[in-house]
């Protein structure tokens, strides 16, 4: 009897087809990218090629290594610092000659409220420099300002280009006025700068309208706060300036300073209090602690944000005391 071959021949194609189907399924499981876009997981675990389960305690999936929140993705167009706490760039050094009374007060001593009511009469005044340009003296006079100090010189290299308008303008409306010098002890000797000041408008005359000159000695806006001098060297420089000014004018100059600077840069030297009137800088409700050697201030610069002109001051006495200082 001939052999019957139909059974085995039909089983081999079925087995081959089944094997091919299993191979296709394995391929799909091994390469998820071959699946449809709707089935592709957002975060994949590169270690196994399948979707990794995110950690609910971490907004970013550490397995995936990509941020879960689009807001966390860095913007390539953003060239700013990655660290929000990165140090800001330093403030540019001011132009030489631009220094003025009290420019370091807020930075070093802060600012508080306006002065409290005083039991002793106080006389309102202002101090100005080239920052104010041509000053509206009539408006200041009508607001109650009765005296002024005007920056004349700085170091041995700068003269205020607005000095004539400011100095004569105050006089012409009836104010008692004077001049001040911004000292820079690292540039030249005290004697050199005192002479530069007197020759540049800081002189004095007994006319009842001219106040003695002022040495503005405070924080250095251009570099080291004490101008690179030791406390003893600073005291010697100030003495040199004051002695020369007196020999040129016959008057003791007023010293403008802040207590914090005076302590740091002179060691709180007490030797000038008996001869040189004190002009203290402090933007608060009271004058606070005074430098050693002075029991009271003659003038108090109490704000840099006053009306018409920012820097406003109080003379410690009625107008007749301002006249007395002018007359010497």
d(CA 278, CA 300): 8
Per-position b or e across 22-44, b if 16+ CB within 10 A of its CB: eeeeeeeeeeeeeeeeeeeeeeb
d(CA 242, CA 62): 71
**HSE, side-chain direction, 13 A CA sphere, residue 103:** 18
Give residue for tokens 């953003």.
Answer: 78
- Which of 109, 216, 252, 311 is catalytic? The answer is 216
Pair of tokens at residue 71: 């807001």
127 a catalytic residue:
yes
Would you say 130 and 160 are in contact if contact means Cβ atoms under 8 Å apart?
Answer: yes
DSSP for 155-178 reads TTTEE-TTHHHHHHHHHHTT-EEE
d(CA 36, CA 206): 100
- Which of 154, 218, 252, 313 is catalytic? The answer is 218
> Residue 292 — φ and ψ, nearest 5°?
-60, 140
Give residue for tokens 């041509």.
Answer: 134
Long-range interactions of 314-320: CB distance < 8 A, separation 24+: 314/115, 314/118, 314/122, 314/123, 314/124, 314/125, 315/122, 315/123, 315/124, 315/125, 315/147, 316/120, 316/122, 317/120, 317/121, 317/122, 317/123, 318/121, 318/123, 319/123, 319/146
- Which of 127, 154, 252, 313 is catalytic? The answer is 127
CA–chain centroid gap for 84, Å, is: 20
d(CA 129, CA 10): 110
The SS3 of residue 17 is helix
List active site positions: 127, 216, 218
């Amino acid at each position: 009897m001939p052999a019957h071959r139909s059974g085995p021949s039909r089983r081999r194609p079925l087995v081959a087809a089944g094997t091919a189907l299993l191979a296709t399924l394995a391929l799909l499981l091994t390469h998820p990218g071959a699946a449809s876009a709707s089935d592709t997981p957002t975060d994949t675990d590169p270690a196994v090629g399948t979707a990794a389960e995110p950690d609910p305690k971490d907004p970013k999936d550490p397995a995936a290594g990509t941020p879960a929140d689009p807001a966390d993705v860095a913007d390539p167009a953003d060239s700013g610092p990655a660290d929000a706490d990165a140090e800001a760039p330093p403030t540019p050094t001011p132009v030489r000659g631009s220094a003025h009374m009290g420019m370091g007060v807020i930075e070093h001593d802060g600012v508080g409220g306006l002065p409290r009511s005083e039991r002793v009469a106080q006389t309102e005044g202002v101090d100005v420099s080239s920052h104010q340009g041509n000053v509206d003296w009539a408006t200041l006079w009508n607001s109650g300002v009765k005296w002024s100090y005007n920056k004349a010189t700085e170091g041995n290299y700068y003269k205020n280009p607005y000095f004539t308008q400011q100095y004569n303008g105050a006089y012409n409306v009836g104010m008692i006025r004077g001049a001040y010098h911004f000292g820079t002890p690292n540039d030249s000797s005290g004697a050199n700068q005192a002479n530069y000041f007197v020759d540049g408008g800081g002189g004095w005359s007994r006319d009842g309208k001219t106040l003695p000159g002022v040495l503005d000695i405070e924080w250095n806006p251009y570099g080291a706060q004490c101008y690179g001098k030791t406390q003893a060297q600073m005291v010697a420089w100030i003495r040199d300036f004051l002695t020369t000014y007196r020999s040129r004018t016959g008057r003791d100059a007023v010293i403008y300073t802040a207590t914090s600077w005076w302590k740091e840069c002179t060691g709180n030297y007490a030797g000038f209090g008996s001869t040189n009137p004190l002009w203290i800088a402090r933007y608060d409700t009271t004058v606070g602690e005074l430098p050693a050697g002075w029991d009271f201030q003659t003038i108090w610069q109490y704000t840099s944000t006053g009306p018409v002109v920012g820097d406003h001051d109080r003379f410690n006495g009625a107008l007749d005391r301002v006249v007395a200082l002018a007359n010497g």
